[in-house]
A and B are shown apart, each in its own frame.
Chain A
Amino acid sequence: DPKIIQKPKYLVAVTGSEKILICEQYLGHNAMYWYRQSAKKPLEFMFSYSYQKLMDNQTASSRFQPQSSKKNHLDLQITALKPDDSATYFCASSPHWGGNYAEQFFGPGTRLTVL
């Protein structure tokens, strides 16, 4: 059974619209993250959460808003979508936040295409 679920797997949106990317983890972890991978760019850290509290935000745009309704959920709301937002968005989790040596477990990703 998948331990980190991301929905949807593929998403096509029009410029200017708003979408929510869903992430649920069933590993019992307390820390969750969002990463983005745009074409020909490395995986790029976006946010980290610990016990549903935002710990770090490396995303310049306020159009990206994480939402944590439950400890094992970390959704990503993206407003006013632009073609440059097209990327694969990965959710990840780790047992605790703040451990530099800790393994992060990744979900399968949501591939977003903005037309």
Chain B
Amino acid sequence: GDSVTQTEGLVTLTEGLPVMLNCTYQTIYSNAFLFWYVHYLNESPWLLLRSSTDNKRTEHQGFHATLHKSSSSFHLQKSSAQLSDSALYYCALSETSGGSNYKLTFGKGTLLTVTP
């Protein structure tokens, strides 16, 4: 089945440094729909970015990611980390199988902690 592998565990950064959270995926289907969800403590997870277009950069709230189907990657980046970016980040893949199934397959999550 589908799977998502992302930078595991804890990533600690100093404020102002660039953010790079890796995400690679495996799917047997040619159409890949990739998402980044962010989960702040005591809040609900919510959608940060999504893409299905190969080699096109997508941006939101200072974060960006580019889907590269050749390398099955969808890395999350930001030029300068802020304290408020501290959260749990999930990369997710939407499964498509001719419309008979529709579910998100999540990676294990990366806890980003930004320090002053």
Instruction: Produce 1/0 per residue, B18-51, CB < 8 A to A.
Output: 0000000000000101000100001111110010
Q: Contact residue range for chain B?
A: 20 to 34
Q: Contact residue range for chain A?
A: 20 to 34
Query: Is the C-beta of A66 less than 8 angstroms from some C-beta in chain B?
Result: no
Query: Is the C-beta of A95 less than 8 angstroms from some C-beta in chain B?
Result: no
Instruction: Produce 1/0 per residue, B80-109, CB < 8 A to A.
Output: 000000000010101110010111111111
Instruction: Produce 1/0 per residue, A27-63, CB < 8 A to B.
Output: 0000001010000111111001000000110100000
Cβ contact within 8 Å between A45 and B90: no
Assembled-state Cα–Cα distance A99/B92 (Å) = 15
Query: Is the C-beta of B52 less than 8 angstroms from some C-beta in chain A?
Result: yes
- List chain B residues, Cβ under 8 A from A45: 103-105
Cβ contact within 8 Å between A101 and B43: no
Cβ contact within 8 Å between A100 and B31: yes
Cβ contact within 8 Å between A103 and B50: yes
Name the prevailing secondary structure of the B interface residues.
loop
Name the prevailing secondary structure of the A interface residues.
loop
Cβ contact within 8 Å between A33 and B108: no
Cβ contact within 8 Å between B103 and A48: yes
| Contact A99/B44 with A41-B108, A42-B90, A42-B108 known, Cβ cut-off 8 Å | no
Chosen A-B contacts, 14 in total, with CB atoms closer than 8 Å, are: A4-B44, A42-B4, A42-B90, A43-B45, A43-B92, A45-B105, A48-B103, A56-B101, A100-B102, A104-B104, A106-B46, A108-B42, A108-B44, A109-B44
Q: Which residues of A approach B to under 8 Å, CB–CB?
A: 4, 33, 35, 40-45, 48, 55-56, 58, 90, 97-101, 103-109
